[in-house]
């Protein structure tokens, strides 16, 4: 399973699947200067099921 987060400004995809506990991360910024995870911990994401799962 992959967790894909999106920038609130430019909608660029960011793969945060390798983060151990995604609920603990806050204030993640994109290259464009927008937020992937806001300072309050909110994020736009989707879960992608990988083959074989």
2-47 pLDDT, tens digit per residue, is: 889 999 999 999 988 777 766 677 888 999 999 999 998 888 999 8
Contacts of 2 (CB under 8 A, 6+ apart): 15, 17, 47, 48, 50
CA distance 8 to 40: 13
pLDDT of residue 3: 85
Full-model pTM:
0.73
Pairwise pLDDT comparison (1 vs 39), residue with the higher score: 39
pLDDT at 21: 66
């Amino acid at each position: 399973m992959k967790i894909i987060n999106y920038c609130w400004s430019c909608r660029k995809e960011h793969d945060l699947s390798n983060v151990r506990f995604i609920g603990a991360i806050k204030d993640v910024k994109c290259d464009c200067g927008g937020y992937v995870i806001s300072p309050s911990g909110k994020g736009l994401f989707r879960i992608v099921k990988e083959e074989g799962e």
